[in-house]
Amino acid sequence: MSSQPGKTLETFGNPNPERDFHIHMEIPEFTCLCPKTGQPDFATLYLDYIPDQQCVELKSLKLYIWSFRNEGAFHEAVTNRILNDLVAATVPRFMRLTAKFYVRGGIFTNVVAEHRKPGWEPQPLVELTAFEHQSNTR
């Protein structure tokens, strides 16, 4: 049975909801159509999020992303629509979607959209230094 594109985003329960952890995904095959010319636009999407109770299921995400292939959309609109749909499905603590569209007319377009759950604050960044190994040669 072959898979078909669709707008349904499935989720599964966060295996560690007591902890903030970062999920990073790279989606290098995003395509949609230019609403002015009908020509294809290509982008790599970078999805970064900290889940709360739900995580997005990858096959459904793949089929969802595929569903834009024949739709006309401005870069700014489609990036925000995808973020809105992902936030509605997963209700994350934090989510950032970066869309890096390939050059068209000599211009690269990058669109970054973010969601932050009200009241959620990120944990302070922990800086780690590399341990230098010193041999004990005599």
Alpha-carbon gap, residue 86 to 102, rounded angstroms: 23
Calpha distance 128→50 (Å, rounded): 21
Instruction: Determine whether 34 is an active site residue.
Output: yes
CB 122 within 8 A of CB 94: yes
Give me the pLDDT at residue 15, please.
Answer: 98
Q: What is the pTM of this model?
A: 0.88
What is the reported pLDDT for 133?
61
The residue extents of the domains of the chain are 11-116
What's the distance, CA 27 to chain centroid? 8
Residue type, 115: H
Cα separation, 74 vs 79, whole angstroms: 9
CB 50 within 8 A of CB 23: yes
The domain made up of 11-116 has a fold known as GTP Cyclohydrolase I, domain 2 (3.30.1130)
User: Which of 20, 34, 48, 52 is flagged as catalytic?
Assistant: 34
CA distances (Å), 42 to each of 45, 61, 81, 110, in order?
Answer: 10, 17, 16, 12
Q: Determine the pLDDT at residue 105.
A: 80
- CA–CA–CA angle 7, 11, 17 (5° rounding): 150
Beta bridge mates, 24:
48
- The mean pLDDT values, 10 residues at a time, for the chain of 138 residues are 85 97 97 94 97 98 97 97 98 98 90 96 85 60
Pairing relation of β-strands 94-104 and 107-116? antiparallel
